[in-house]
Chain A
Amino acid sequence: MFRNRFVSLLVLTTTCALSSCGGGGSGSSGSGSGGSSGANYGCDGGCAHQALSTDDVRQILRQAVTATSQLGKAGTFAVVDRVGNVLALYQMTGAPGTTTITAQIGAAGGLEGAVVPSTLAAISKAGTGAYLSSQGNAFSTRTASQIIQEHYLPGQSNQPGGPLFGVQFSQFSCSDVTLETSNSAGPRPLPLGLAGDPGGLPLYKNGDLVGAIGVEFDGLYTVDRGVANTDTDDEERVALSASVGFAAPAERVGDNISLDGRSLRFAYLSYGDVTLPETLDEINDANLQSVSRYCRAEIRGGVPFGSVASGFADSSRAGVPSMILTNGGGQRFPTRAGRPLPGGVQLSGADVDALLDSALLTANRARAAIRTPRDTAARVTIFVVDDQGTPLGATRSQDAPVFGADVALQKARTAALFSSSDAGGVIGSAPGLARNYAGEYAAFTGIPLNGSYVFNSRSVGNMARPFLPDGIDGTAPGPFSLPFPGVGVGNTWSPFNTGLQFDLIAAAVLSGVTNPGGVPSSCASIGVRLRNGMQIFAGAVPLFRGETLIGAIGVSGDGINQDDLVAFYGASRRGLDYAGHTGSGDVTLGFNAPQERRADHIDLPTPQLRLRYSNCPEGPFIRDNDQNGCEGL
């Protein structure tokens, strides 16, 4: 239903104006000034943060232009720093001005079929490479593609959905986490969310993540549908060429990281597959682009991560290194109390600090799933919200990937909203829904969505998959999702049309694409309860005092089971005690929900089906043989 309106708007809209401002045009040629290809520096989160200089950015652009010309093509390139500042947006003469969003699975609705400016696609692709990576892991848009689809791995039958299913719908400009200010503080928004279209790679200097390159020219903004092959993607080839001299450390790339025994994919090509000539093509500064709210037509240097100016300042909490979010000056999301609820219960400021301490210390003990070297700690972003989704505090591990900031808050708000007594009413009142999702939930469970049972983001995610049970081909969709193409017709599921999650934010996302300069006050059409949108994978639990929902804690940045552990164990009596907050929360449950009200206690009419609640990982803690860290919580 959005599709026609969207396409007609977008094809007529040009948001980028040509400009001739910018720095000098004579860059050095040839070898890189950053790290050599794939060299290892042993950085695991503790290395000093670096930044791309304007010369670095220029060299990266020249390498991109040269490699694209070698292919006989013309492309659009974005270079961003780690917090999403667009350091340059460059469109070669003759490059396709638009690209079409499609997963190529015959789906319709949502963003499927939308034609969007190539510049926005390039920014999202670059931002994905930067936001998903860290000193401990180098992920690309191809990695993202692998973990957001209906099966993990994509192309295989009867495998559950990707672990970060739904993460693509985050980082939008409508979020209250992303910053649109003119200073350099991030995280900056990504116009299309996170991208799964190959051609976005992170950039490193001396082992530190300093940004990413995004390449768009093939006219398709899509996902890699199968992992049974190693297709060669020209955009990926150019991104690899562009990152020569700034390559991810070989030991950090996704290929060396196993998620549930499956290694992630960084790129199908390697640096050995790309060659650059001795002399690089010059770039024409007249081809630098500006996009309102994202970038001016200029080349600028990046900002070192961890500095106040980056929006992520190093700090400490509970005796361990941490990070606070800043707006370039003051701390964002400082600790505060939640709203008072009937009966005088609320999350006090001390409760919030106890939860943040406990969760951060849990992360600090947890064995990272997505980082190398192995046996290093998980690094995550943690948000606590009250029952209305109001942020009450935030903390981060140092070097945690940036994407987790927005996602942790999305997850927390999702857990809070869906566990609320008015959840069904709020969702049912949202405009423009493709299905009566609250009604579908009631039909699926036999009970209304009214807080009688409570949900963490994993339970909500179970019901937001195109197949139910998750991953079993040919089955009907979960109540918050849409039918898979072929199972259903018309408005069907794709990574660009995920059902309730996308429907809630559709208007804001479209507005952000067609008019990037506009400032939507909220991503979700239902207002502040899901201000930055809904998230549908694990890593948040609702918080309770007695039988009363008082908020939620959301975690993002490592594997989903690790995120779940940090939230669920962090909110538990065990976690709080470990952090020394023995007086906070219930004497047995901590801040966790009463067991019998959790979603995994719902006796579904469908035999043998049970929603999941929390699922902590195998061997959750570093160098600890305990396999059942969350037993009985």
Chain B
Amino acid sequence: MSTSNLVGELSARFGDAVLGEQTTRDSFPTVWIRPEVTIAVHRYLKDEIDRPFKMLVDLWAIDETARKHREGQPPSGITIASHLLSHDRNADIRIKTPLDAEYPRAKSIGTVFPNALWYEREAYDMFGVEFELQPHSNRILLPPGWEGHPMRKTQPGRATERPLFNMTAALFDAKEHALAADPEKFGLPTHRDGVELMILNYGPHSMATHGVFRIVLALDGEEIVAARPDIGFHHRGAEKMAERQTWHNFLPYTDRVDYLGGVMGEMPYLQAVEKACGITVPDRALTVRIMLSEMFRIMNHLLFYGTMAQDTGAMSPVFYMFTDRERGYRVIESITGARMHPGYFRIGGLSMDLPQGWDRLVREFLDWMPSRLDDYEGMVLRNEIFRARTKGVAAYDTAMAHEWGVTGPGLRATGQAWDVRKARPYAGFEHFDFEIPVGHNGDCYDRTCVRVEEIRQSLKIIRQCVDNMPSGPIKADHPLTTPPPRERMLHDIETMIHHFVGASWGPVLPAGETTGQVETVRGLTQFALISDGEPSSYRTRIRTPSFPHLQMISAVAPGMMVADLVAYLGSIDYVMSDVDR
């Protein structure tokens, strides 16, 4: 592994500030360091070594106070973990810092990685970790005025364990006033060159901001001087719920993290769980997983295509794309039983086999799509007004994309051909023949073109799935496959016991840490799981691609006009459930 001597290099450079390496089931090293050298270590990895780790993928906190199995790890109350990625090495590294449980204070790496700021705000919000670059009580996901830090182990996971909640009129007013678009609270300038700026609250109820999302803008006429995105309206506590649900029960929640990704959301979670269990998923199940994932990629990109055209004013193309999506959903429904949130995969494989005649349905869809895509190209991509609205708008280059943690089509539009399916193939993607579409200018137009071309590539992958679908079992023959294969369960008492325990108490994963990474529709989605030998997760960290994409808005938006902002928001292709979880 290109990181094999990295830990040695770190120890040589920082001496005993490097507390040691932790063994995990992952292929990248996890290194513990002292809090004092946090900034120095990150700067070293980002700027000083050769083929550096230029992107901060994720930063999160772990409450270690209730954990039983911590062999080989230094003592810690709350741990901060940061996950870095090097495209040049095609390798990752995870840095962990131990902090005090009662008063966790950490050094902010916001000066090294600009996109660390929102992650650190989330760590404060959920765990109470104070970072010195952040103003006190700068919550991000929970509403202002919330008391407590919910992800801590001392905080209950069910509403029934909390005191009764009464919304009085006074409380309602207080909450409403707390959400006012006060420029001071958002750090917005009120004057520029003696001209007073107009503060516009592009509120959670807006047609331009896809989903419940709010940007507070400081405008000089139509020009945006500063923009501050405000998220958290769609927060549902998925990570806390993972600690309450069993490993098996949590699967439908993963569908709903990105509500347009459908079954693709289950992939990174299952990748991590199956790695922890040591399950090898049979080929038929893997190929079906790929086929359905790519179907959902097409569904999402079609919706993106239509809404992108609609954001620039063309009201008709979205209806045509929705007709195509309807056809796609009929195929998905006949295979999985549900349309948007199938919950079709299981630990160890699939829940049921493909229905008879599935290949005819899929081929009909594959034959229907290409001519429709050609029509759309004439309607949208070659439309002069659309091009005028999107070319050169919100352009950023690869270096800026790395600074802000951009993955997925947003990164590929700047010219870097990095896709997890090719860089770290999973689920059998190494056997498929497809290309990674790449843009050049990193503007809205290129992001649109990259996604349109991805639709075509996904159609190609699905055709290969249909042509070469392997036969065989759809569930692995492994004790932790939940639920176990039905034929065995009905005949064999051991399997029956496993089924009973797995469905009621939950499958018990061996203690340890695993990570799953998948190229979902918006970019890199990563699940970092910590198991403590219990039937439910100790810590589930969901790294979603849209979170850093939205953080970038405050850097890209200044200088644009309001109409450009609408095109830019459309081209990011985020969904709020992916941002807030």
**A and B are interacting partners:** no
**Residues of chain B whose beta carbon lies under 8 Å from any beta carbon of chain A:** none
**Residues of chain A whose beta carbon lies under 8 Å from any beta carbon of chain B:** none
